[in-house]
Structure 1
Amino acid sequence: MRLLIGIDDTDVLGAPIGTGRLARMFEKKLPDHVRLWGVLRHQLLVDARIPYTSHNSPACIAVDLEDEELIPELIQRVRDHIRLLASPGSDPGLCVARADLCTPAVITFGLACTQNLVTQDEARTLAAESGLLLEGLGGTEDGVIGALAAVGLTAYGWCGRFLEFNGLRDLPDPVRVDALIAHGLLPVALDQDASVPPSQALIETNGWLSPRLWGGRPIVPVSLEDGQWKALGKKARDAEVAE
């Protein structure tokens, strides 16, 4: 089964560990027989009325496991991880849900958070009605909103950017198309002709791949520019302070 772990509001301005990085770091603390599928960053509404840190972007850790008896240990480990690494003064929230039990209402909530203001009460009421674990782990506990939204948006399957997937950051630059596919990443051309990148073609990443969650799987958007395939959405690693 796939378990979705949403976290948000674990940092403050200037913190050395942002929410995205904190989520990625949890891979090393997974119990035996639990495998990381991916870590996703989601973008919520940016509005002056929302007390976000810098970008209002929660994270979702998606893991695969076969034994439900591992879930309580997994939840406790992620609680301890957040409490250990969350910045003083932050307002962390945690949501845990089985992907196959995320209702349309949970997905609708996640989509609403990208466009509208929502409240803690709305998040907590929906989580209780849907049977999802949702809890605050400090401060005002405002992070419960983004944590639930991250779960809903990941279950939706058509938004978000992968911060980690199968050793994503260890891939070479440039990388062959067939190597990407073998890695579980599908390159998709975003050009007028919807070209198909040949399996032996090289894709320039500029040291940074940003797969999207499209159709429930990681997709690498690419474009053909002057005869060279290039990955879209690239940015310098040292600019990713929070990720």
Structure 2
Amino acid sequence: MRVYVSFDDTDCLGADRGTGKLVRWFTERLPEGCTSWGVVRQQLLVHPDVPYTSHNSSGCAVLDVPDPSYLPLLANLGAAHIAEHFIDGSDPGLCIADENTDLSAIIAFASRAAIEVVTQDEARAIAEEAGVHLSGHGGTEDGVIGALAGVGLTASGWSGRLVEFHRPLREFPIVTTVAEVEDAGIMVVPVDRNVQMPKPTDTLDTQGWLRPRLWGGRPVAPVTSAGPDSWTAIGKQRLAGPGGATPGGGHAGVQHGGDDW
């Protein structure tokens, strides 16, 4: 059974760890019988009325679990994980949902959270109606917004970037082959003008860290041609602003998230 465990707003400016790292750590301590399919970074609205640490992103761990009886255990583990790594000034939220639940309203809410200001009250009401776990764990608890949105965007299958997929994506060499990437379960898709299909023996420059997208419910590495039999993955990391962050500000009760990917 596929389960989505989403965290948001677990850090603050200047912290030595952020939401991305916290989600990856969580997948390393799963109960016996549970496995991680991957970890997805979801981008939410960046807006003057939305307080956030650096990029306003949430993280969702996609898990395969034996049956629904594991859901309360995962909720307890998630809460304990946040408590263990809590940073003063953060406003953490946790959301857990499974694929057997009707997530349509959550997906619709998540689509809005990516482009407009939404509120904590809306998030809680939608989660209650859908019957999914949504909880705050300190501060203003504004992280419930991004946590719910992280589940919705990931469950839609058409949003986000994978930061883990079975194996750490940082383990791929800087220059690898199309075959090695596809053997890992990641589809290589050209997005340049000619859309010529790559051959398994073609080289692929990961630019130091492969960054697959979640497209159609599966990991896809978009690439552009770098010449004959050669490809370059898109999505090279760009540096943040001064101090490595873009602080926000504004009203209580709206999105608030961090970034550490």
Q: Same fold (TM over 0.5)?
A: yes
Secondary structure, counterpart of 2:13 in structure 1: coil
TM-superposed CA distance for 1:48, in Å, is: 1.1
Task: Determine the structure 2 residue equivalent to 1:222.
Answer: 223
Q: Which runs of 5+ in 1 are unaligned?
A: none
Which residue does the alignment assign to 2:234?
232
Alignment of 1:44-63 (within 5 A): 44-63=44-63
Q: What is the rounded CA distance, in whole Å, between the counterparts of 2:238 and 2:89 in structure 1?
A: 29
Please list the CA deviations of residues 21-65 of structure 1 after superposition, one character each: whole Å capped at 9, or x if unmatched.
Answer: 111111211111100011111111101111111111011111001
Q: TM-score, normalised by structure 1?
A: 0.95
Q: Taking every aligned residue pair, what percent have the same amino acid on both sides?
A: 46
Q: CA deviation at 1:157?
A: 0.8
Q: Give distance in 1, aligned partners of 2:204 and 2:163.
A: 19
| Structure 1 moving runs of 4+ over 4 Å | none
Shift of 1:86: 2.6
How many residues are paired up?
A: 242
- Asked whether 1:150 is paired with 2:141, we answer no
Letter in structure 2 aligned against 1:188: V
1:168-213 CA distance string (max 9 Å, x none): 2212221211111110101100011211110111101122111000
Q: Distance in 1 between matches of 2:238 and 2:210?
A: 10
Q: Secondary structure at the match of 1:38?
A: strand
Q: CA 1:57–1:79 in structure 2 vs 1: closer, same or farther (change >3 Å)?
A: same
For the 8 Å contact 1:207–1:236, the answer to whether it is kept is: no
CA distance in structure 2 between the aligned counterparts of 1:191 and 1:86, rounded to whole angstroms: 43
Which sections of structure 2, spanning at least 5 residues, go unmatched? 246-258
Paired residue type of 1:93: G
CA distance in 1, matches of 2:74, 2:133: 13
Matched to 1:184, the amino acid is: G
Q: Return the TM-score normalized by structure 2.
A: 0.89
Using the alignment, how far apart are the partners of 1:201 and 1:2 within structure 2? 34
Q: Does 1:72 align with 2:62?
A: no
What is the SS of the residue equivalent to 2:23?
helix
TM-fit CA distance, 1:91: 0.2
The residue aligned with 1:22 is 22
The residue type paired with residue 187 of structure 2 is: L
Aligned positions of 1:17-166 closer than 5 A: 17-166=17-166
Name the one with the larger helix percent: 1
| Distance in 1 separating the partners of 2:153 and 2:133 | 16
Higher-RCO chain (CA-CA 8 Å, sequence separation at least 6):
2
Q: Which amino acid aligns with 1:158?
A: W
Q: Trace 1:145-224 onto structure 2 (pairs within 5 A).
A: 145-167=145-167, 168-224=169-225
